[in-house]
């Protein structure tokens, strides 16, 4: 990783660590958090596992996937996170009981979708692959 890439990658690492820590908190406090949000403990456990998987895959792919791919997925994920939080709050404000389910449902599905998209993204070519490609290009020219 070049020195200029290190600060950019720090944000990706921070995002992956946040997801993993949130997942661990969901697992540790599944019963209590589930009661607060109006969802069952097993739903909190499923969400915690999904967040741990998503955060772990994000951390694993930091160097092997393009920065641009990471940023696009983080923006999409965080936009959905904010919109889901607003919908959940609106439902709770209107005395609805499904706000927590909407929130935790998103927290269960979205990290897995983002992780799958990261895994199928085209990897960044390694330095040796780039050098080999340049040599092939020079031979053709």
The pLDDT tens digits for 15-26 are 999 999 999 999
Reported pTM:
0.82
Is residue 43 within 8 Å of 108, Cβ to Cβ?
A: yes
At 39-52, the pLDDT tens digits run 999 999 999 999 99
- Residues whose CB is less than 8 angstroms from the CB of residue 15 and which lie 6 or more positions away in sequence, other chains included: 55, 58, 74
Q: What is residue 96's DSSP assignment?
A: -
b (16+ CB within 10 A) / e for 82-108: eebeebbeebbeeeeeebbbbbbbbbb
* Measured distance CA(87)–CA(82) in Å, rounded: 9
């Amino acid at each position: 990783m070049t020195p200029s890439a290190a600060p950019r990658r720090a944000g990706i690492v921070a995002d992956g660590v946040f997801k993993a820590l949130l997942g661990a908190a969901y697992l540790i406090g599944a019963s209590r958090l589930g009661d607060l949000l109006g969802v069952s403990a097993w739903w909190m456990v499923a969400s915690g596992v999904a967040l741990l998987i998503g955060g772990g895959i994000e951390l694993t792919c930091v160097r092997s996937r393009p920065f641009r791919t990471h940023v696009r997925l983080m923006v999409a994920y965080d936009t959905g996170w904010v919109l889901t939080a607003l919908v959940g709050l609106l439902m709770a404000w209107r005395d609805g009981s499904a706000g927590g389910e909407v929130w935790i449902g998103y927290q269960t599905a979205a990290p897995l979708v983002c992780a799958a998209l990261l895994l199928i993204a085209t990897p960044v070519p390694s330095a040796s692959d780039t050098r080999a490609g340049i040599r092939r290009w020079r031979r053709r020219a």
